[in-house]
Amino acid sequence: MGDDDSPSSSPPTSPQTKSRSTSPVKVPRSYVWNHFARTDSGPVCNYCKKKYSKNTSTTPMKSHLKVKHPSLVPELIQPTLHDVLSNPYTGKQKEELDDAMLDWIVEGFQSFSMVNKASFREFMHQVNPR
Ligand SMILES: [Zn+2]
C-alpha cells in the first residue's frame, strides 16, 4: 500500500547486466534489506520492528541482525561459526566469547572470504579446541 517512495533509485535489475555508465548514486544492495523494511521514517526491522533513522548506515542494522536475530539470518553465520556459537559455554564465558566473535565478524564482514584464512581458523581453534 502507499506510494513507492524510492524515486531516484534504480530499478531492481542487476547493475552488471546493463552497460550503462556508472551511476553516481549507489543503491544500497546490502543483505540487510532482506530483513529491514524501508519506510518514510527509515528502516524498520522486519522481526522486532526496531526503527532506525533514515540516514543511518547499514552497519548498526547489520549488528542488530547479528545480535538479535542470528538464527533468522543464516547467511550471516557459516556452519562452523554457528556450531561454535551454540556450544554450551557457561553464561559469562559465552557472552564474552560471542562478543569477541561478533567483533571479529563485524569487522571482517566486508571481506567475507577471510573466514577461510588460517588466522581465523587458529582463532576458532583457540576458542573452541577440539
Ligand atoms: Zn530486530
> CB atoms < 10 A from the CB of 58, how many?
18
Measured CA distances, 105 to 26, 79, 98, 120, 124 (Å):
24, 14, 10, 10, 12
How close is the Cα of 35 to the center of ligand 1, in Å?
A: 8
Q: Provide the pLDDT for residue 37.
A: 94
Dist. CA 16 → ligand 1 center (Å):
31
pLDDT of residue 72: 80
Residue 22: helix, strand or coil by DSSP? coil
**Ligand 1 center to residue 64 CA distance, Å?**
6
Which set of grid coordinates corresponds to residue 46? 522486519
Report yes or no: 74 and 34 within 8 Å, Cβ to Cβ: no
Mean pLDDT of 61-75: 84
Average pLDDT over residues 8-25: 57
Q: What is the Å distance from ligand 1's center to 78 Cα?
A: 20
Is residue 76 scored above 70 in pLDDT? Answer: no
Q: Using the Cα atoms of residue 106, residue 107, residue 108 and residue 109 in order, give the sign of their dihedral.
A: positive
